[in-house]
Structures are given as structure tokens and as C-alpha cells.
Amino acid sequence: MAHREEGQNLERIFTLSEANRLIPQLEEHLTAVKRGKTVLIRTKDEIKKASSKAQFGGGSFAGPHYITALEQTSENLQAIQEMGVLVKDLDIGLCDFPYLMNGRIVYLCWKLGEAEIQWWHEVNSGYTGRQPLENEKES
């Protein structure tokens, strides 16, 4: 039986091959989220101005772009969540996959730009505690 840390709410445990097969979808979703975030940052000031003048019937050319970016970002993050993948850092595209190693739950760790999962860490150590996967090649 796998040991779960206190407070862990894990719905899915991945095999290494299952996690690696999700990488192309994750790349698409994370790239879309990063694009959306760029639009949100670029239009933020214009939206704030429009919001402050909303009582006067204001609006903004940036409004539709902002709303579309919000919707797309939300949809892509929801798709990732539905896969069972844990997004840890959107800026670098850092994701964790709950994984059973030696009878305990750990996280396989992957970030955008890496071809495959080559790292893992304890659930309480995070990115700085990443260790190389060794002898974990399974189907």
C-alpha cells in the first residue's frame, strides 16, 4: 500500500510511460496558457483604465482580447487539471505527476522544453529537490 503524506489529495497516480505520453498535450496547453498570460499582462493597464470608467459607460478596445485570453487560459489550465497533472509554475511550465516509487508517493517532475521526464522529487521538497530518475524505465 502506498504511503500518502498528510493533506495529499491525489486522484491519479501515473506510470512513467503514462506521464511521458502526456507531454505533447501538456506542451500545447502550457504554450497556450503562456500566450494568454502575455495578452493579459499586455492589456492589464488598459483594462484597469476601462474598469475605472465603467460607471460612465466606458469600454476598451482591449476588452475582447482580455476576455478571450482569460477564457483560453482558464480552459487550458482546466484541461491540464483534468489530466491529473499538477502545475507548479506557469512561468517555466513546471509540472508534477504523482508517482509510486518504492511504496510511497513522489512526484515525477517535468518542465516545458524537456523532451521527457528525467527527474523526480519528494512531495514536500519541490523543484530544488529534483533528483535524476535512475532505474525507473518502465513501460
Domain boundaries, the chain: 1-21+86-139, 23-84
Using the structure block, give the residue that is written with the C-alpha cell 522544453: 113
DSSP symbols for 83-102: HT-EEEETTTTEEEEEEEET
pLDDT digits (tens, 9 = 90+) for 74-122: 999 999 999 999 999 999 999 999 999 999 999 999 999 999 999 999 9
CB 39 within 8 A of CB 69: yes
Q: What's the pTM?
A: 0.79
Q: Which residue has the cell 498535450?
A: 25
pLDDT digit string (tens) for 40-61?
888 877 776 666 655 555 566 6
Place of cell 465603467: 54
